[in-house]
Chains A and B, each alone.
Chain A
Amino acid sequence: MPIKLMAASRRRPGLTRAEYFRYIEHYHGTVARLERFKITRYIQNHVIDGAFGVLSDTAHKNRAVDREGVVELYFDEFRDMIATLEPKGVTQSRANQDGKFFADESTNVIVMAEEVELPVANPRPKFNPGLGEPGHGAVKVMQFIMRKPEVFPQDYHRLWRQAHDEAMANSSYAREMFRKITVSKRSRINDNDAAARAHFKMVDPPVYDMVVSVTLDSMEQVGAFRQYFDAMVESRLDFADWSESFFLYVRPVRIIDDAPPKD
Chain B
Amino acid sequence: MTTQNPAAAVGQDKNLPEWRAQKTYSRNLADSRIKATLPPLTPEEEARPFAKYYYEPIKPADPAHLAAMDQPMDPAMAFGPEEINRLLDIPGLEAGVEVGWCNLPNGAGYIANTIVYPDVTADMIDWWFAWHPLEDLRYRIWYPPQHAGIMLSPIDRARILDPAVPNREKNWGVVHNVTENTDCGFENIDIAFRSPADMGFDMDRFHKVVATCAAGMGWAVAVEKCDTSITAPAIMCHAFYDVPGGLRHRTRFWMGYRFTEEGKPELCLPPDVAVPVEAVQGLARHNVREFTRFGDFLPRIYKELGNSMYC
B262 with A154: CB separation less than 8 A: no
Q: Find residues 256-273 in chain B having any chain A CB closer than 8 Å to their own CB.
A: 258, 260-262, 264, 266-271
- Contact between B264 and A1 (Cβ–Cβ < 8 Å)? yes
With contacts A77-B268, A82-B270 known, is A149 near B25, CB below 8 A?
Answer: yes
Please give, as numbers and ranges, the residues of chain A lying within 8 Å of B175 by CB-CB distance: 152, 154
Determine if B231 is an interface residue (Cβ-Cβ < 8 Å). yes
**Which of A1, A151, A189 has a CB less than 8 Å from the CB of B24?**
A151
B156 touches A189 (CB 8 A): no
Q: What are the residues of chain B within 8 A of A173 when measuring CB–CB?
A: none
Q: Quick check: B25 and A189 within 8 Å, CB to CB?
A: no
- Contact mask B148-166 → A, CB, 8 Å, 1/0? 0000011110000000000
Q: Can you name the residue of chain A whose Cβ is closest to the Cβ of B107?
A: A79
Using Cβ atoms and an 8 Å threshold, which residues of chain B touch A189? 231, 233, 258, 268
Contact for B153 among A1, A155, A188, CB less than 8 A: A155
- A223 near B: Cβ within 8 Å? no
Decide if A78 is an interface residue (CB 8 Å cutoff): yes
Given contacts A152-B175, A154-B153, A155-B154, contact A82 B271 (CB under 8 A): yes
**Interface bin, chain A:** 20 to 34
Does A185 reach chain B (CB closer than 8 Å)?
yes
Interface centre among A83, A155, A162, A195 (most CB of B within 10 A): A155
Q: Mark B170-214, 1 if CB is under 8 A from A, else 0.
A: 000001010000000000001010000000000000000000000
Sorting the interface of chain B by its residue count into under 10, 10 to 19, 20 to 34 or 35 or more gives: 20 to 34
Q: Report the minimal beta-carbon distance from B115 to chain A, rounded to whole angstroms.
A: 30
| Bound-complex Cα distance A159 to B269 (A) | 31
Q: Within the complex, which residue of A1, A83, A86 is in contact with B262, where a contact is CB–CB below 8 Å? A: A1
Chain B residue contacts of A153, Cβ below 8 A:
25
Q: Which residues of chain A are within 8 angstroms of B268 by Cβ–Cβ distance? A: 77-79, 189
Interface SS of A by simple majority: helix
Chain A, residues 116-157, CB within 8 Å of chain B (1/0): the string is 100000000000000000000000000000000111111100
Please encode chain B, from 128 to 167, with 1 for each CB lying within 8 Å of some chain A CB and 0 for all others. Answer: 0000000000000000000000000111100000000000
Does A158 contact B155, Cβ atoms closer than 8 Å?
A: yes
A191-B231 CB under 8 A given contacts A77-B268, A152-B154, A155-B154:
yes
Q: CA–CA, A150 to B153, complex, Å? A: 10
Q: Give the shortest distance, in Å, between A238 (CB) and chain B (any CB).
A: 11
Confirm or deny: A194 has a beta carbon within 8 angstroms of a beta carbon on chain B: yes
CB distance from A193 to the nearest CB of B (A): 10
Minimum CB–CB distance from A44 to chain B (whole Å) comes to: 24
Complex contact A79–B270 (CB within 8 A): yes
Docked pose: A55 CA to B129 CA in angstroms: 46
Cα A150 to Cα B268 in complex, Å, equals 28
- B26 lies within 8 A of chain A by Cβ: yes
CB distance from B154 to the nearest CB of A (A): 6
* Interface flag for A58 (CB, 8 Å): no
- Taking a contact as CB atoms closer than 8 A, the residue among B153, B221, B228, B270 that contacts A152 in the complex is B153
Could you name 12 residue pairs across A and B whose Cβ atoms are closer than 8 Å?
A1-B261, A77-B266, A78-B266, A82-B271, A149-B24, A152-B25, A154-B153, A158-B6, A188-B190, A188-B233, A191-B231, A192-B230
A: which residues have CB within 8 A of B? 1, 77-79, 82-83, 86, 114-116, 149-155, 158-159, 162, 185, 188-189, 191-192, 194-195
Nearest 6 CB-CB pairs, A to B? A152-B153, A191-B231, A150-B24, A1-B260, A114-B261, A78-B268
